[in-house]
Chain A
């Protein structure tokens, strides 16, 4: 009887895993099969025509990149400074509530950030639908994740190193610059890559901030359509846009996977360096 139950559980676990992996292979397979036909140099270098059914995605890639650059330019310095403050300077009674807030904000739905970005950047600050608004909204969305990963990287640096630096008479600023930040660099980069991946995947927060316009942006105050918004628009609002949508989806997935695998590699190398040090 006991033998029986054991075999049953084993079978169930194998079956469930096969089901999960199968579903994902189905999804990825479909994206590759439907997308690969669209994918060539012209698709990446041409402007979209006929509402995106034909032509390429060049202006959309440029807009996506610009939105990302704005987001990073704001989020990285702010996030790095906050993480340093939390891990090296802040008193515990101040750091704790800040951490709780960050954890909560990391879970706030992206559409809510979209509402916030629309109200603050587009309307209250008068930026309208623009790459600025989209990038700043994404920066707010990225901050919690980036701060938390960076801070955990900094706190993972052995306290021996801090004491060693202190014994050598280094100021804390010098210790931070010469020892702690370099030691935590892989973890910080990994957090950065994760945040970029999430920003690239974001759609809901961008629809009402950076907008729908699929022309080549001329400045950062122009509206620009991100790649994920392009996929959404093609599949929902453009009949016959599925092929181009799958092509764009393949480009997006390849981009995100490349970034994610860099992040995973860096994290693993960092952890290995920690455990062998």
Chain B
């Protein structure tokens, strides 16, 4: 629709005032949000300036007391945990979205969606509590110590499942009924309709849902902190305890000072950059970032 909102109403003094007021408040918000980035840079400058980024990707490991700030082990743990959670959550979330659109009896559709919305609202610290008291002991019976990469992957998968399911369902709902009816009229089986018509047409929406889920998983702190064991090491197996970047900040912020504190801010900056890259990718594909 091409019409300009700007000249359909008569201007008045109240208008000019409101435009200025809301404009300056909007500007204040923009400034406030720019401050987030600025503060991160300012606080991490001490370590960025002396030795630059190189120190975060080289050296013996993460030994703040002796000035070693190698982020690789924690970066790997973060990436592997996120990827593992997505590998589990994508098929399961997609399947429950397909179930809601194509397979569920009518009376089940709404309750199922309500359950998903409810789960999307459960605080991460509750997922962490449950993981710590139920999941970790279970894994420990199988292969000690229990608090491990596997526990982190399982809890993260559970946490991002509602995101995947709700965004995929929205994408599937947007598939035009004409193409579905056309496919049915051509005599395609339900499998043919789902795999051949619905999924390809909903691809973009499902993809941006997956990116949103990846953003959530990358940035999650509490749940992972509570179940992953928090040992700084490059994960060698699923049962190794690991520490992710977010958990590292939460664990060390309380006593970090000087260069150590700056290094933590720099790892926050790195997290923010990764999330921004994903958001940019999702925006480029025209996806919306809200479930």
Contact = CB atoms under 8 A, between A and B. Distances in A.
Contacts of B283: 100, 103
A81 B126 contact: no
B126 A252 contact: yes
Contacts of A115: 39-40, 43, 249, 253, 264-265, 268
Contacts, number: 281
B95 interface: yes
Interface in B58-83: none
A109 B40 CA distance: 13
Contacts of A171: 9-12, 14-15
B140 interface: no
Contacts of B276: 104, 107-108
Contacts of A231: 123, 125-126, 129
A111 B189 contact: no
Given A10-B190, A171-B12, A235-B129, A27 B158 contact: yes
Contact of A84 (B3, B22, B98, B226): B22
Given A171-B15, A203-B221, A17 B33 contact: no
B221 A204 contact: yes
B210 interface: no
Contacts of B32: 78, 140, 143
Contacts of A71: none
Contacts of B11: 171-172
A127 interface: no
Nearest to A208: B253
A46 interface: no
A192 interface: no
B70 to A, nearest CB: 20
A189 interface: no
Interface in B1-35: 1, 3, 5-6, 8-12, 14-15, 17-19, 21-23, 25-26, 28-30, 32-33, 35
B272 interface: yes
A105 B191 CA distance: 40
Nearest to A112: B268
B103 interface: yes
B204 to A, nearest CB: 16
B255 to A, nearest CB: 11
Interface stretch (A48-56, A216-224, A241-249, A269-277): A241-249
Contact of A85 (B22, B128, B279): B22
A187 to B, nearest CB: 13
Nearest to A242: B133
Contacts of A245: 129
Interface size band for B: 35 or more
Greatest chain A CB density within 10 A among B5, B8, B22, B165 is at B22
A110 to B, nearest CB: 7
* Interface of A (DSSP majority class): helix
B289 A107 contact: yes
B269 to A, nearest CB: 8
Given A106-B289, A111-B268, A86 B26 contact: yes
Interface string A108-141: 1111111110111000100000000000000010
B126 A13 contact: no
Contact of B279 (A19, A20, A107): A107
B134 interface: yes
A13 B43 contact: no
A228 B117 CA distance: 20
A115 B267 CA distance: 10
A12 interface: yes
B278 interface: yes
7 contacts: A85-B19, A100-B283, A107-B279, A108-B276, A203-B222, A231-B125, A264-B117
Interface of A: 2-3, 5-6, 9-10, 12-14, 16-17, 19-21, 23-24, 26-27, 30-31, 34, 77-79, 81-82, 84-86, 88-91, 98, 100-116, 118-120, 124, 140, 143-145, 147-149, 159, 162-163, 165-166, 169-176, 197, 200-204, 207-208, 228-229, 231-232, 235-236, 242, 245-246, 249, 252-253, 256-257, 260, 264
Given A78-B25, A107-B276, A119-B43, 6 more contacts: A10-B103, A78-B28, A104-B279, A108-B276, A203-B221, A256-B121
